């Protein structure tokens, strides 16, 4: 009978340890999910910032080409015409 009690106690102790490890890992998992969420939000912010800088760069590039030679002006006019066509397309889609 004593041996049976020892086995039961051993199983209880191992179960308790297992439960403690489970709780620890569950908490750690939640913390890691929170970190992932924060990092994903930061990544989206950085992507938006990069996109904004890219737009500013393109605008600056267009402004600089207007100041430049006739070849640059031709490229700028083509870009402006492309933008106008894109705006017209958007307006058409909105009016439908």
Virtual torsion, Cα 10, 15, 20, 24, nearest 10 deg: 130
Q: How many domains does the chain have?
A: 1
If one compares 70 and 60, the residue with the highest pLDDT of the two is 60
Q: Could you give the CA distance from residue 79 to residue 82 in angstroms, rounded to a whole number?
A: 5
pTM for the full predicted model? 0.53
Q: Which domain holds residue 16?
A: 2-95
76: CB partners within 8 A, 6+ apart: 62, 65, 66
Rounded Cα gap, residues 47 and 43, in angstroms: 6
Band of pLDDT at residue 80, cut at 50, 70 and 90: confident
Q: What is the pLDDT of residues 86-96, one digit of tens each?
A: 998 988 888 87
């Amino acid at each position: 009978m004593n041996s049976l009690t020892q086995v039961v106690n051993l199983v209880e102790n191992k179960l308790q340890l297992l439960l403690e490890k489970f709780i620890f890992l569950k908490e750690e998992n939640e913390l890691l999910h929170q970190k992932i969420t924060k990092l994903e939000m930061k990544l989206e912010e950085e992507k938006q910032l990069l996109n904004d800088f890219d737009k500013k760069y393109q605008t600056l590039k267009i402004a600089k080409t207007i100041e430049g030679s006739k070849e640059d002006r031709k490229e700028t006019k083509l870009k402006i015409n492309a933008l106008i066509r894109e705006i017209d397309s958007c307006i058409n889609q909105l009016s439908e």
